[in-house]
Amino acid sequence: MTLALGCIADDYTGASDLANTLARQGLRTVQTIGLPAAAFDLSGVDAVVVALKSRSIPAAEAVAASQAAEVWLRQKGADHVLFKICSTFDSTDAGNIGPVSDALRDSGACPMVVVTPAFPGTGRTVFQGNLFVGVMPLNESPLKDHPLNPMHDANLMRVLSRQTATRIGLVPLQIVDAGPDALRAKLAQLQAEGFGMAIVDAVFDRHLLTIGAVTLGYTVSTGASGLGLGLAAALIASGRVAKAEGAAAAEAPVGGQAAILAGSCSAATLAQIDAFAGQGPILRLDAERLLADAEAEVAAALDWAKPRLAAGPLLIASSAAPDQVAAMRARPDAESTGHRIEQAMAAIAEGLVQAGTRRLIVAGGETSGAVVDRLSISGFRIGAEIAPGVPVLRAMSGQGPDLLMALKSGNFGGTDFFTDALALMH
Ligand SMILES: Nc1ncnc2c1ncn2[C@@H]1O[C@H](COP(=O)(O)OP(=O)(O)O)[C@@H](O)[C@H]1O
Ligand SMILES: O=C(O)[C@@H](O)C(=O)COP(=O)(O)O
């Protein structure tokens, strides 16, 4: 089986967001955790999303992991590789969006990399190269308070130029709105002028359909789920993939106990935790204590959870408000605190699964990465959509128990996300 589309995602929630979008468009899609084995069964699969945990690691490591994934995807026949980044362009001045896009551009011999994080379905739009989150420019949105990648600049040409020596051009909305021929001509002009990447504006899904149709003619692109939508639609429109109705897997119920783990400190997740208060018990972890003695705090959290699990879903959160996150970032060991909190959440997840939890919701991209790695899951089949960008996932765990998961990007989902998710996870 030859892959129609290969994707490399820089975190696990982002990967499930993209896999969800591709499946809704009619591509039979699988999400793998890390590089799949050479013999990974691709029968009946149109698109693979290789989930990496490469958003917040040193740039050289992100490049190496992405290149290895690209080699695998190309060997499986993918002509086009999409590098899936966050729709809020989460990154630092060192990367990793620029360095990884550069590396893929080189290995794919791609003269021009289209870059767009637009994902109108979740309120992310790009106009004149500036990223908006709902009505706010990126730098005024809650992303300014992110614990790992605070975003202080909405101008994506500037942000990306700090990460790469490649010249970054702009394709403004009026060109995209004029259709594929205008976009193709503008990209060719930018290439002739010495630009190697272009931020491409998009405000509505129809812009992403235009961008997808044109971008499929290149070997590499960089973007969020909106670009995935455009590429998937273009693959189907071109006849290269036959649209699969109900591409999302509907399978036997898993049952078992349910738990929610929140490590995201986003405004959306904080509101979702508050909304769950009337629905089930909540344990709010103290991050300072967790960092001082993780083992004791993990044990205490599991002692709290185990007797309650049989009575219904419960929630354990390390999430904190922006002032507490800022205090954490001021600590001398700030570099490692996020990672250590993630590892504690992963240990709690492992204990919950050992205690019989079979339906697990995790809020936060890095947090989800740590949890999924700890549970040794090799991949996911994509199920029903809970909210834009968040599907029900069925773990392909090898020897482990059947497990349903939802990996929620911190910023995604409505206020009642946790109850909405539980209603779809049977
Ligand atoms: N109370 C806290 N203070 C500071 N950082 C925290 C706290 N709780 C969790 N974190 C860390 O914040 C980061 C949140 O990132 P992530 O899980 O990717 O969420 P999001 O999806 O919102 O980006 C993780 O590294 C997590 O361990
Ligand atoms: O594109 C998006 O916004 C998401 O798919 C995503 O990548 C979210 O990252 P986290 O907020 O770190 O979960």
Is the pTM here over 0.90, yes or no? Answer: yes
Q: Is 16 in the pocket of ligand 1 (CB under 6 A)?
A: no
pLDDT tens sequence across 137-161: 999 998 888 888 888 999 999 999 9
CA–centroid distance, 17 to ligand 2, in Å, is 8
List helix spans (H) across 34-75.
59-75
CA–centroid distance, 189 to ligand 1, in Å, is 42
Question: Does position 73 have pLDDT exceeding 90, yes or no?
Answer: yes
The pLDDT assigned to 229 comes to 98
Q: Is 129 in the pocket of ligand 1 (CB under 6 A)?
A: no
Q: Which of 208, 411, 417 to mutate to test the pocket of ligand 2 (most atoms within 8 A of CB)?
A: 411
Atom 26, ligand 1: which residue's CA is nearest? Answer: 338
Angle between helices 365-374 and 334-354 (to 10 degrees): 50
CATH of domain 5-238: 3.40.50.10840
Question: Does position 374 have pLDDT exceeding 80, yes or no?
Answer: yes
CA–CA separation, 413 and 423 (whole Å): 14
pLDDT tens sequence across 226-280: 999 999 999 999 999 999 876 455 566 778 899 999 999 999 999 999 999 989 9
CA–centroid distance, 9 to ligand 1, in Å, is 19
The pLDDT assigned to 252 comes to 67
CA–CA separation, 258 and 34 (whole Å): 26
Number of the ligand 2 atom closest to the C-alpha atom of 266: 11
Pick the CATH number of 257-424 from 3.40.980.20, 3.90.1150.10, 3.40.50.11710, 3.20.20.70: 3.40.980.20
CA–centroid distance, 304 to ligand 2, in Å, is 30
Reported confidence tier of residue 28, pLDDT bands at 50, 70, 90:
very high
Please report, for the chain, how many H helices and E strands are present, in that order: 15, 18
CA–CA separation, 320 and 314 (whole Å): 18
CA dist 302 to 182, 254, 299, 357, Å?
Answer: 58, 22, 5, 12
| 285 alpha carbon, closest ligand | 1
Domain boundaries, the chain: 5-238, 257-424
Number of the ligand 2 atom closest to the C-alpha atom of 18: 5
CA–centroid distance, 11 to ligand 1, in Å, is 13
| 224 alpha carbon, closest ligand | 2
| Strand 130-133 to 124-127 pairing | antiparallel
pLDDT tens sequence across 285-300: 999 999 999 999 999 9
CA–CA separation, 8 and 50 (whole Å): 5
ipTM of the shown complex:
0.97
CA–CA separation, 371 and 259 (whole Å): 13
Closest CA to 76 of 22, 29, 6, 26: 6
Amino acid at 353: V
Atom 7, ligand 1: which residue's CA is nearest? Answer: 319
What size, in residues, is the chain? 426
